Structure 1
Amino acid sequence: MTKPAFETTVHGTPGPQGSKTVNAAGAMYESSAKVKPWREAVKSAALDTVAYDETWQPIRDAVRLEVVFTLPRPKHHFGTGRNAGFVKPSAPEYPTGKPDTDKLLRSTQDALKDAGVLLDDSVITDTVAAKRYVLTTADTLSHPGAIVRVWRLTQPKEPQP
């Protein structure tokens, strides 16, 4: 595959976006307290990545988005006593519980739009997403976060006035 048009590493705990809660006054807010810090982390990493490219324009054509989310293992996955720090043999290999992959993608896509990487998240036509635990595969980080890659599916067009 060709080189991605955009690639960045985001540090922080991935936060899902999607579920809304209504308070007694009728105001809606995100039910996950992690979504705002995550969106800020993605936006900050994206802005840092494109900051030195004076010709960068938000991508307006079809793209493929790939995100590998690295999640922390729950404490109960680790042994105790002399086995503290070691993952139990009974611990699952993959994070099959919450947060949902689609909700993690939603917050990440919105942050990429806010950072000016994408003109709109509707330009994403192909998506590949994975949830992994820390240091379990080649594309996982040594701490919570994500690796984000965006490929253009067509040749870039000239910006419209």
Structure 2
Amino acid sequence: MRAVAAGVIKHENGPKLRAWRDTITREALRIGGSDWTPIDGPVRLHVALTVPAPSRVNISAVEPIEHGMVPRCAPMTTPDVDKLLRAVQDALSPRDDRKAGETTKLRARRFKLLTDDCRIVDSLAAKTYPCPGHTHPWALPWPGAVIRISSLDVDTPPFPNSTLRRPDAFPPEVGELRDAVGLRRAAV
């Protein structure tokens, strides 16, 4: 956020942030379907955020490697993981920012997975670089996010930890979704 005038604050990356939120909304709609009823109860949110790999890495964050292995580097760069998580949460329940008497804006008609992001009462997030130098098992081969939402009463597998050692394999139960997104990305 950046102050541009007295009492006026703007997102420094406003257009990029809106595009990121729109992508999350579009994928949620694709998976949830147009007849989705927004969740209005307590939920758990797990997010693995794959951020673009830098051209140079911080040597202090690199795991020493054996011959033939891919080096792993922790993504200790901006943006902070909490800011990325907040953008995901906002995308899952876009607000209607209309003023009284104003016409309906496009964002007021956007898909909502949750009635409000305050329904998220338990969340974990991890930030990683793309495969193969990733530090989290849910890393994608491109920048993006793997998002798991569940009711608070539903037992879910634990959210995996990040590691500088070789992470576990990508979960097969969401591999088909990852592959479908990859095909759509290749078609663009």
**TM-score, structure 1 normalization:** 0.68
- Identity, % of aligned positions: 38
Question: Is residue 2:63 matched to residue 1:67?
Answer: no
Question: Is residue 2:27 matched to residue 1:45?
Answer: yes
Q: Hey, what's the Cα distance between the residues in 1 that align with 2:53 and 2:153? A: 38
Gap runs ≥5 in structure 1: 1-19, 78-86, 156-161
Letter in 1 for 2:151: R
The equivalent of 1:99 in structure 2 is 79
The equivalent of 1:144 in structure 2 is 143
Contact 1:65 1:150 in 2 (8 A): yes
Name the one with the larger strand percent: 1
Gap runs ≥5 in structure 2: 66-70, 95-110, 155-188
Shift of 1:93: 1.6
How many positions carry a matched residue from both structures?
A: 126
Contact 1:61 1:154 in 2 (8 A): no
| Superposed counterparts of 1:2-81, under 5 Å | 20-24=1-5, 27-33=8-14, 34-51=16-33, 54=35, 56-77=36-57
CA RMSD of aligned residues (A): 2.6
1:89-140 CA-partner distances (Å, limit 9, x unpaired): 6976211121111110111101100231011000101001000110124311
Q: Hey, what's the Cα distance between the residues in 1 that align with 2:93 and 2:85? A: 12
Higher relative CO (Cα under 8 Å, sequence separation at least 6) belongs to 1
**TM-score, structure 2 normalization:** 0.59
Question: Is residue 2:134 matched to residue 1:154?
Answer: no
Name the one with the larger helix percent: 2
